[in-house]
Amino acid sequence: MATASEHDYTAGYEYGKTEIYCECLVTGAKVAASLLVHLWNLDHIVELIDSEGCRCRIDEGHAEGWASLWIYRHPWVEGLLDAIDSRGAPKGFFDNWVNGKLFGYSDAEIAAFCAEKVASDER
């Protein structure tokens, strides 16, 4: 059982992380963001997302007591999220590239990730 101070710390951490993600979405640094939040904090997080002019998709089916959120700003992102959800786990470089772009990574970082993946697969 979490103490009051642990509860406050966790709520503050989730709130702060959400604020940063919303700022990245509003400024155009990211197209979408994803995070896990405690169910007891979900209403406050959704209020924050709304107040920042962003939207969210909530999935409470991953783990008991937790909610997974996609945060985004533009309605067209919903189509991307549907496509990603229908594909399941990333299956190759195309999926990794799409996810990297969606999360705001640079082409150089995506290329480095893919190169590392190739190197680890060759071992």
pLDDT in tens, the chain (123 residues): 566 677 888 899 999 999 999 999 999 999 999 999 999 999 999 999 999 999 999 999 878 999 999 999 999 999 999 988 888 777 888 888 888 888 888 899 999 988 888 787 776
Report the b/e string of 58-93 with b at 16+ CB within 10 A: eeeeeeeeebebbbbbeeebeebeeebeeeeeeeee
Q: DSSP state, 52?
A: T
What is the pLDDT, as a whole number, of residue 1? 55
What is the pLDDT, as a whole number, of residue 102? 86
What is the pLDDT, as a whole number, of residue 103? 86
Domains of the chain: 1-86 (3.30.1370), 89-123 (no CATH)
What is the pLDDT, as a whole number, of residue 2? 61
